[in-house]
Structure 1
Amino acid sequence: MEGNKVRQRMSAKPEKIQAKEVKENKTVHRSVGWLKAAMTSTLLSCFIFPLILWLLPSPINPVEFRLPPVPKWTGALHPNLKLQKATKLFTNKLTGPESMVADGDYLYTGTADGKIVEIYKGEIRVITKLGKDPCGKFEHEPTCGRPLGMRLDKDKYLIVADAYLGLFKVNVATGDKTLLLSSSTLINGQPAKFMNDIDIGKDGTIYISDTSALWDRRHNRYSVLEGESTGRLISFNPSTNEIKELVGGIAFANGVQITRDQQSVLLVSTTRAAIYRYYIDGPKKGNFEDFNNNLPGLPDNIRKSSLGGYWVGLAGVRKEAFSMMDFTAPHPWIRSLLTKVFSQEIIIKLLPKYGMVLRLNEEGKIVESLHDPSGKIIPGVSEVEDTGSVLYLGSYNLPFLSKLYISDIKGT
């Protein structure tokens, strides 16, 4: 009997070992199964996700283009901190003061909610609205209106280009407004889909940039990312109602400025980081040529400088180390992919914040630059309004206006 018990104890040990081995084998098989499933899922994801992304339609139809090599940030372009001396005004009381006009102690500007306002002795007064309520949302903008470029005419009326509604004449004292040119008017067979900036000649002729025939102001980043060239320069004589398309085929036609000699109009191309010159008078009348075809950023509006030449605000910069615009210009597929994955708003947030203003001489050469490398004070500038002692800095999207004394930037 003792021998049997010994045999029973001895036989029990292999059974336990065998059960343990079976359990371990099941665990191993289960682990291998999970590993295979994980690897299969990963491989499928790596294949299916790009396929889905590739098949998804892009909101843009990008074209290939190339920019000249980024100009070296030396000499007049050497980085400095001059823009950091600016002071923010009316924070969260003004949104998107794109363009400004100074008249003595009065300053006029337009806002993102469709208003045209007067600023006098630190107070803001609403002069008028070009569109109708409601305002404030993406879908409201075409009917609310978006005042952009503005100038005073010889009779002190404010002439305003609205991105959606057209060209207006505004009495700044009473708020009365008159539609001079509707955006639905066909100009060379095409309505002005995106009126942007203006200037007024001595004879009263108004020169207008029409940014794009494909995209409206709400989708302005898509126009840049697409690289399309359907912008143009238009002339309009309010006395005779004569309208002409002077130049077409411009990539994001933007800022407009008549030269001091009244011989030509300077026209900004934001996408091409360039400014062109169109001759409206003199022996070269009708000629179209480069003024500066390689700026260190994406230019917005251009205005006269009291220091000589012209101020140009940059909406973004082209850095020597790396420029997203330069990198993606010859690769349309990258820009197409970006717009599939990210919205316009997210794309703009991905870009580096760096404030810069340029001063160009009468020949288009950069003679001065003002910087905010951190972008914390001035992350971007749409326009510079020069009063002779003060520079007012506008923005198409920031919730404030900025002020910079010229005395603070001289000799620094």
Structure 2
Amino acid sequence: MAGQEARHRKSKGSSQRGNKSTSPFIEEDEFEVESHSCTWTILKIFVLVLFASFLILILLPSPIDPISHRFPEAPALEGVLKPNDILSKAQHLYQNEVLGPESIVIKGDHMYTGTADGKILDIHKGEIRVLARFGQEPCGGFENEPTCGRPLGMRFDNDGYLIVCDAYLGLHKVNVATGDVHVLWPHTAPIDGELAKLFNAVVIASSGMIYFTHSSTRWDRRHFRFSILEADMTGRLIQYDPVHNTTTVLASGLSFPNGLELSRGEDFLIMAETTKARLWKYHLSGANKGAMEIVNNNLPGFPDNIQKSSSGGFWVGLAAVRSRDRFSMLEFTAPYPWMRSLMAKLPQEVMMKMLPKYGLALEIDQSGKIIRSLHDPTGEKVGSTCDLADKDGVLYLGSYYSPYMGKVYLTQQTKKS
């Protein structure tokens, strides 16, 4: 009997073990274990790849040697800077016909601009023609930009010639009737012993004297983000005398000097210093002749080109916005050179995505005070404002990267005092 019970218990145990091995619940447990194991393997691989990427980022040498600097607290978007939707109503002109119309000059019924593919364009009653080209084809690529050329600032002189700063190829004079080009100051000619790597903005006095900025002696236009991340201070303000073919350094030690404009009385220049988000005044005459002063030390963005406004002030384009209620990677990392050294190793496309998406343009008075602001809070229509030219109640917007030109109708409602 005892043997039978033992055999019964053994048989029952065998039956239970057999049932356990075929239970669907046990199979689910085994599947979950395998699933968790697979998840952990993927997670480990991801962490290893992330760690390896970070290690490579740390070990790779940085292309820049940044210096520490600080910004004042960014202004709040209130008062004259209160957001509106004026730029949100912008029209896009010449879509895919103009690539990066950096600077805009209007003369009569003609509009002139320079593009990313090295062309000077003459736009007349909607018709576009190529007026001139300073460099050689092929054009339109990162590698060939220095030989193709990149026209930036431009203005007319008293004789009707279009004076143009090409970022790579220097200062030029263009006959707008024939398209003939004459080099005034080539990029190969040193200025006070140093070569300019990035010719930028230009203005011409009634006397014929030409003033221009060059943004760096270290970085060319393709690498302008490096100049800004580095807080490079090799930019200068230059005077060019076309009669004697000489250059004079008026100011040096600037961090990406950019836009430039003459006052209506030609007694001073207004100049943008992009990296520091501020505006300078350089006195050309009077008791302060030759002196410089900061007229706005805390702009709500990083200034680009400057042009006279029809209402008596100056338009200031902003390449990127900065405000008290928006995080700015450039401001946050300004006191920490090591962080900017790491940022410089990232692809330029990644760095561009760090910029806030917001369109903003300013009008300032003669003293540098902001008197009007135009906004696109979404950045969908106007992501940045490079240059602004107004005529007959219409404001035209330039861009160093967009495949179009912007157009906004200015009304009395947009004019703030």
Q: TM-score higher than 0.5 here?
A: yes
- Alignment match, 2:163: 159
The residue identity in structure 2 corresponding to 1:262 is E
Code of the residue aligned with 2:211 in structure 1: it is Y
Q: How many Å separate the matches in 2 of 1:357 and 1:80?
A: 11
Alignment-mate amino acid for residue 359 of structure 1: E
Q: Partners of 1:255 and 1:6 in 2: how far apart?
A: 100
Q: More displaced, 129-138 or 259-268?
A: 259-268
Deviations 1:54-87 (A, max 9, x none): 2122222222111111112221111111112322
Match of residue 210 from structure 1:
214
| Mean CA deviation greater in 43-52 or 197-206 | 43-52
State the alpha-carbon separation in 2 of the partners of residues 125 and 14 from structure 1. 93
* Other-structure match for 1:334: 339
SS in 2 for 1:207: strand
CA distance in 2, matches of 1:220, 1:194: 8
Q: Matched residues in 2 for 1:269 and 1:48: separation? A: 38
Tell me the equivalent position of 2:175: 171
Q: Where does residue 126 of structure 1 map in the other structure?
A: 130
Deviates more, 1:76-85 or 1:32-41: 32-41
Distance 2:414 2:332 in 1: 35
Query: Are residue 354 (structure 1) and residue 390 (structure 2) matched?
Result: no
**Alignment partner for residue 94 of structure 2, among 86, 90, 97?**
90
Q: CA deviation at 1:2?
A: 11
Q: Deviations over 1:182-209 (max 9, x none)?
A: 0111111111110000001121111110
The amino acid that maps onto 1:292 is: N
Q: After TM superposition, give the deviation of residue 338 of structure 1 in Å.
A: 2.3
| Matched-pair identity in % | 48
Q: Determine if contact 2:214/2:237 at 8 Å carries over to the other structure.
A: yes
Question: Equivalents in 2 of 1:279, 1:54: separation in Å?
Answer: 46
Task: Map 1:47-58 onto structure 2 (within 5 A).
Answer: 49-58=53-62
Correspondent of 2:200 among 196, 202, 206? 196
| 1:309 equivalenced with 2:313 (yes/no) | yes
Going from structure 1 to structure 2, the CA distance change for 1:386 and 1:34 (only over 3 Å counts) comes to closer
Is the contact made by 1:273 and 1:298 (CA closer than 8 Å) also made in structure 2? yes
Greater CA deviation, 370-379 or 323-332? Answer: 323-332
Q: Which runs of 5+ in 2 are unaligned?
A: 22-29
Preserved contact between residue 82 and residue 409 of structure 1 (Cα < 8 Å): no
- 1:118 and 1:372 map into 2 onto residues whose CA distance is 28
Assess, with a 3 A threshold, how the Cα gap between structure 1 residues 33 and 401 changes in structure 2: closer, same or farther. Answer: closer
Q: State whether residues 382 and 396 of structure 1, in contact with CA within 8 Å, keep that contact through their aligned partners in structure 2.
A: yes
Cα deviation 1:365-408 (Å, max 9, x = unaligned)? 00111111111111111111122432111111111111222236
The residue aligned with 1:75 is 79
The corresponding residue for 2:114 is: 110
Partner residue, 1:264: 268
Shift of 1:33: 9.4
Contact kept? 1:85, 1:408, Cα under 8 Å:
no
Partner of 1:60: 64
Distance 1:84 1:32, change over 3 A: closer
User: Mapping of 1:199-348 within 5 angstroms?
Assistant: 199-324=203-328, 325-340=330-345, 342-348=346-352
Give, in whole Å, the separation in 2 of the partners of 1:89 and 1:40.
51
Flag the 1:12–1:329 CA change in 2: closer, same or farther, 3 A.
Answer: same
Say if 2:372 and 2:415, in contact at 8 Å, map to a contact too: no
Q: Indicate if the aligned counterparts of 1:114 and 1:135 stay in contact, CA closer than 8 A.
A: yes
- CA 1:50/1:359 → structure 2, altered by over 3 Å: closer, same or farther? same
Q: Secondary structure at the match of 1:138?
A: coil
Deviates more, 1:256-265 or 1:9-18: 9-18
CA distance in 1, matches of 2:40, 2:311: 71
**3-state SS of 1:345 partner:** helix
Q: Mean alpha-carbon deviation: is it higher for 127-136 or for 388-397?
A: 388-397
- Which deviations, in whole Å up to 9, do the C-alpha atoms of 1:236-258 show, x marking residues without a partner? 01111121111111111100111
SS for the counterpart of 1:186 is coil
Between 31-40 and 125-134, the greater mean CA deviation after superposition: 31-40
What TM-score do you get using the length of structure 2 for normalisation?
0.89
Deviates more, 1:162-171 or 1:396-405: 396-405
CA shift, 1:330, in A, is: 1.2
Instruction: Write the distance in 1 (CA, Å) between the matches of 2:361 and 2:162.
Output: 25
Deviates more, 1:26-35 or 1:391-400: 26-35
Question: What amino acid is aligned across from residue 336 of structure 2 in structure 1?
Answer: H
Q: Provide closer, same or farther for how the CA distance between residues 337 and 285 of structure 1 changes in structure 2, counting only shifts above 3 A.
A: same
Give the conservation status (yes or no) of the 8 Å contact 1:222–1:344.
no
Aligned residues: 410
Q: Is the CA contact 2:269–2:281 (under 8 Å) kept in the aligned structure 1?
A: yes
Q: Does 1:381 align with 2:385?
A: yes
Instruction: State the one-letter code of the partner of 1:269.
Output: E
Aligned residue type for 1:194: L
State the alpha-carbon separation in 1 of the partners of residues 344 and 358 from structure 2. 23
- 8 Å contact 1:210–1:232 — kept in the other structure? yes
Distance in 2 separating the partners of 1:114 and 1:47: 42
Q: In structure 2, the residue corresponding to 1:139 is in which secondary structure?
A: coil
Gaps of 5+ in 1: none
